[in-house]
Structure 1
């Protein structure tokens, strides 16, 4: 979602700059010449003082712009990884499992699978409903279906059981390591 917001803000900023540039070009150059001001001091004073509401509108627009800019900045700085998972201990209490510990355990177990060259794991979601994003880099001889079945079977079952979760939604991305073609002689 953040990528969509960034694209929309970039497009809106581009359109505003394009419109401002077109307005300046069409308003000042053809009418008064290249060195003439866009509005004279007296015309500017007469126009804006005749309207009593314009100051409040400009102030509200600036405040809204500042608030939106702060929201966007804070959303850029927010961490996308989950720092901890709440685990139900069964006796009415809860324990906290560190997110990086769960990521490292899943990465180590998935990295030990046959045909997996490298594994990266990111824990996302909320504390009560975590989700995993797993990136497996497969060796050239690996069968993707077998690697995915091994990940979905024992690795994720062990992760769910150790974290005390009923479900652990997982997104797996598979990539084959680059290798040179073998020559046949």
Structure 2
């Protein structure tokens, strides 16, 4: 979700900047703008004295400007904190069966999953990242596959072995997983 918000937000800001900058550049280079455009020739200023002081005497102007700027600052702070927040799950709540619970370090489960996934046939390298909540963890697994490995077989092996072992050992009802598979790229070799 955050990735989509980032891309949309950056796309909108970029589009607005390109349109405004391109139009100012076009007018500055001497192209004739449409009659409704805010600039009329290359010597026109961005805001005239009349435009800058038009609402200065109205009582609603400054509270509105301050409120809009405050909302923009709060949105920028929200966006910054969500991007800087740690996304890695630090610990998992394991049901011990006696009504109590135990905490399992997230890095420990990531390490075990990573080593077991890397040991699967045809997997050159594996990377595991735990996300979600303590009581409902989720995993993201990236596998780098050897050149002639069937991705379906590698995915089945990962699901049947590494992920099943992790789910059972942590006592989880489910362990939703997003798996990304990528093949190793080799240089072209000359055949003689």
* Change in CA separation of 1:35 and 1:115 when aligned onto 2, cut-off 3 Å: closer
**Structure 2: runs of 5 or more not aligned:** 28-36
Cα distance in 2 between the residues matched to 1:56 and 1:133: 47
1:113 matched residue in structure 2: 120
Residue 11 (structure 2) pairs with residue 2 (structure 1) = no
CA deviation map 1:10-40 (0-9, x unaligned): 23323554458858x654654xx72768323
Cα distance in 1 between the residues matched to 2:155 and 2:22: 54
Cα distance in 1 between the residues matched to 2:188 and 2:52: 73
CA deviation map 1:100-147 (0-9, x unaligned): 110110111111111111111111111111111111112223332322
CA deviation map 1:57-94 (0-9, x unaligned): 10100100110010010011012221111111111111
Larger % of helix: which? 1
User: How does the TM-score come out when normalised to structure 1?
Assistant: 0.82
Cα distance in 2 between the residues matched to 1:125 and 1:137: 24
* Change in CA separation of 1:48 and 1:20 when aligned onto 2, cut-off 3 Å: farther
Contact 1:28-1:38 at 8 Å conserved across structures: no
2:68 matched residue in structure 1: 61
Cα distance in 2 between the residues matched to 1:36 and 1:164: 68
2:166 maps to which of 159, 168, 174: 159
Contact 1:106-1:159 at 8 Å conserved across structures: yes
The alignment covers a number of residue pairs equal to 181
Cα distance in 2 between the residues matched to 1:153 and 1:44: 68
1:140 matched residue in structure 2: 147
The correspondence of residues 48-87 of structure 1 with structure 2, limited to 5 A, is 48-87=55-94
Deviation at 1:167, TM superposition (A): 0.8
Deviation at 1:178, TM superposition (A): 1.9
Counterpart secondary structure, 1:79: coil
* Change in CA separation of 1:52 and 1:163 when aligned onto 2, cut-off 3 Å: same
User: How does the TM-score come out when normalised to structure 2?
Assistant: 0.80
